Amino acid sequence: MVLRDVLEPLGGRMFSEEFCERHTGILANCVHETDCTLRPLWNGIQQAVDGIVGRYTIQDLLDGVIEPPKIQLSVTRRAPVEIEDEACC
């Protein structure tokens, strides 16, 4: 049995499709529903966690054969956008 199958029923996933619906604050919908900058970040983190806990079994954990994960970070940053405002300055 892989670790993911044990962990999900105990606490669920860190980030799921229902996350934004459950964490709206005092409003009915999140104020960032259409323009969210955090959703892609949390989705990527969840995919990394899923990959790790889906790779190992309970027996691997008991046998101590779990290696620290090798995570390759690929950072792509967008160049800052300069906005010319003729009304300014």
* Structure-token match 């993911």, residue found: 4
How would you classify residue 74: left for phi > 0, otherwise alpha for psi between -120 and 50, otherwise beta? Answer: beta
pTM to 2 decimal places: 0.59
Could you count the other beta carbons within 10 Å of the beta carbon of residue 47? 10
pLDDT digits (tens, 9 = 90+) for 6-25: 888 888 777 777 777 776 67
pLDDT digits (tens, 9 = 90+) for 51-74: 888 999 999 999 998 887 676 666
Tell me the domain boundaries of the chain.
3-63
